[in-house]
Amino acid sequence: MSKERKNKLITKEIMNQAVLDSFIKLNPKYMIKNPVMFIVEIGFVISLFLTLFPNIFGDKGVGLRTYNLIVSVILFITVLFANFAEAVAEGRGKAQAESLKKTRKDTSAKLLDRNGNFRVVSANELKKGDIVLVETGDLIPNDGEVIEGIASVDESAITGESAPVVKESGGDFASVTGGTKVVSDWLKIEITVTPGQSFLDKMIALVEGASRQKTPNEIALNTVLVSLTLIFLIVIVTLYPIAVYSGVTIRISTLIALLVCLIPTTIGGLLSAIGIAGMDRVTRFNVIAMSGKAVEACGDVNTMILDKTGTITYGNRLAAEFIKAKGADQKELINYAVICSLKDDTPEGKSIVDLGEKLGSVVNIEEYKDLEFVEFTAQTRMSGVNLKDGRKIRKGAQDAIKKFVLNAGGKIPEDLDESLTRVSKEGGTPLVVCVDNKIYGVIYLKDTVKPGMVERFERLREIGIKTIMCTGDNPLTAATIAKEAGVDDFVAECKPEDKIEVIRKEQEEGKLVAMTGDGTNDAPALAKADVGLAMNSGTTAAKEAANMVDLDSDPTKILEVVEIGKQLLITRGALTTFSIANDVAKYFAIIPAIFTVAIPQMQAINIMRLSTPSSAILSALIFNAIIIPLLIPIAMKGVKYKPMKSEMLLLRNMLVFGLGGIVVPFVGIKAIDLIITPILQVLSLG
């Protein structure tokens, strides 16, 4: 699916299907899910019945059958337009789903046995835990984790981006998605899901919107609309005996027209479409939301927690320098740093080996390949190897290495803190290298703050969102990066449990929290946050814990996702304001038309000077119908969002959509009145 096609609002195919679905949705079983429009449909049925039997309720007058027929047609069109708005929103999601389904083929897989031999089986036969081999040109049969190999993978079927991405074992970037294609080299993959439960299957179900659940705010607004509808229904029912008592004859079809014009039909017809379109906008931004609630929560976020590495900084922390400690040898420092990084598959570990080789390291890789490797953990905050002669080489955070050396009876070099301070002040990350109880020096890992981050955080500050940077760096490095990036607060030497604690504290203060992550150790915090955005390149655990997944694996995208969430809430609020404000103009159009004959003083509120009672009622009814399709583009695209304080947003929307909701109907109803008056005179309804 091309970018141009993705961004097009309505294609010919979507239009044709939406028209068909508009009629299918007339089924009362479906319509009752939207109580406001269901009332309009009931009004259409009653009006149609009165067209066939015009005098059954004692109504009299010239052209009664024709008048009832016109009311019936307008009500029918009103319901169709509301159904059309929802069908268009659903059609956009279904179009994306169809495109994705084309990538979900019954592929074959090379299933490996314990001896390393493979046999070709159908992808549908694969079970969780199976090991498969994928080579150049093969489609990855199902979601999994790379356990061996390195290869370029084309993910354009999922992300829309043509540039292949590198997948390899180790670290947080070993996750692969079923349906993507290996374009070079090979991978051994452990399948992590059962058939039918892949990320692609879930993505198709979500964008189709077949099982879309209404969000809490949507349910609350729907309750308000139903309440307003019931109130106006009671008013209309009691209005008939009052009119009879006052000597005013009101046609049943006129009462139906009045009810339809007064209940919030505009927002009632667009409410579902706004919710679907909100999820659709997130999807077109290459983010998959696991629920509408997640998108809606983005609009209410108060606090945003961001990792430093890969989010605020580029994340490619590469070894830039080896700084020896007093009493140590530079060559020994380089060699020990290389030895303890040989089995470290992280970008940092590989960069240490590369820099060591450039600086003349003479370490024989084959000699150390069978060593016991000690992996980095959030608890120990260091990694390394155990040599065959019993020596332990470690590299890691300064406090962890200092503790390790002191426990072994060693001493801290006099100039170590000076080296650490220098690296930290420059915004780098220092890794201390030691062998048993002796510290040999510091590895300077260099990282850079991404351009434009200061402006982004300032924009978030304008809309009242607090930003907190979490990093495993020491406090001095963290403070330097935080100041350079412009975040509001930071947590240094942060462990996974620290992130959860930060989220918990913010939530206890009544705030909604968003965070990004890609690693398995991020999963608990992603699950705890109100909005958890996982990277598609991240681990399966992270994606399962989060309620949103970024297909482009851009951690900074959460900034835009929050704005999309706010746009959804603003759009719903703006169109609700517009819809309710509409009723003011309709009131001034219909009420004088009904009562002026019996109560001449009512002519004073006929400020639009509409031609006749019939033209006034029909003009208001026609405007009520056509305003729904005219607002569909706004419902689909959303009201344009500008970062500002909530008070200013409310004021702007009240002026634009509140005042506009009053002015536009006055102009529209008067214009329609001028157009239809001659027609009604020909039909003898004037």
Report, as residue numbers or ranges, the catalytic residues: 307
Q: Is 518 among the annotated ligand-binding positions?
A: yes
Q: Which residue has the tokens 């089986």?
A: 121
Query: Any idea which residue has 């890789």 for tokens?
Result: 365
Q: Is 65 annotated as a binding residue?
A: no
* Annotated binding residue 381: yes
DSSP 22: H
72 annotated among ligand-binding-site residues: no
d(CA 466, CA 649): 18
392-396 and 382-386 strand pairing: antiparallel
The pair phi, psi for residue 266, each rounded to 5°, is: -65, -55
Instruction: Answer yes or no: is 404 a known binding residue.
Output: no
The set of long-range contacts for 184-187, using a CB threshold of 8 Å and a minimum separation of 24, is 184/136, 184/151, 184/152, 185/135, 185/136, 185/149, 185/150, 185/151, 185/152, 186/133, 186/134, 186/135, 186/136, 186/149, 186/151, 187/133, 187/134, 187/140, 187/146, 187/148, 187/149, 187/150, 187/151, 187/153
On whether 198 is known to bind a ligand per the annotation, the reply is: no
Map residue 145 onto helix, strand or coil.
strand
Q: Which helix (H) or strand (E) holds 167?
A: strand 165-168
Q: Is residue 612 classed as helix, strand or coil in its secondary structure?
A: coil
Q: Which of 561, 585, 610 is nearest to 660 (CA)?
A: 585
Per-residue three-class SS string for 444-466 = EEECCECCCHHHHHHHHHHCCCE
Tell whether 403 is in a known binding site: no
Asked whether 429 and 443 are in contact (CB, 8 A), the reply is no
344 annotated to bind ligand: yes
**How far apart are the C-alpha atoms of 424 and 430, rounded to whole Å?**
7
Residue 552 assigned as binding residue: no
**Tokens, residue 612:** 């006749």
Residue 376 is assigned to a ligand binding site: yes
Beta bridge partners, 550, equal: 287, 535
Residue identified by tokens 């009131």 is: 587
- Please state, in angstroms and rounded to a whole number, the distance separating the CA atoms of residues 220 and 198: 33
Gap between the Cα atoms of 161 and 164, Å rounded:
8
Q: Is 583 annotated as a binding residue?
A: no
d(CA 532, CA 549): 8
Burial class (CB in 10 A: 0-12, 13-18, 19+), 456: middle
Q: Label the pairing between strands 429-435 and 438-446.
A: antiparallel
Contact, 152 vs 186, CB < 8 A? no
Q: Is 601 annotated as a binding residue?
A: no
The reply, when asked if residue 563 is annotated as ligand binding, is no
Q: Which residues are annotated as a binding site for ATP?
A: 344, 348, 376-383, 395
> Which residues make up each annotated binding site for Mg(2+)?
518, 522
Binding-site residues: 344, 348, 376-383, 395, 518, 522
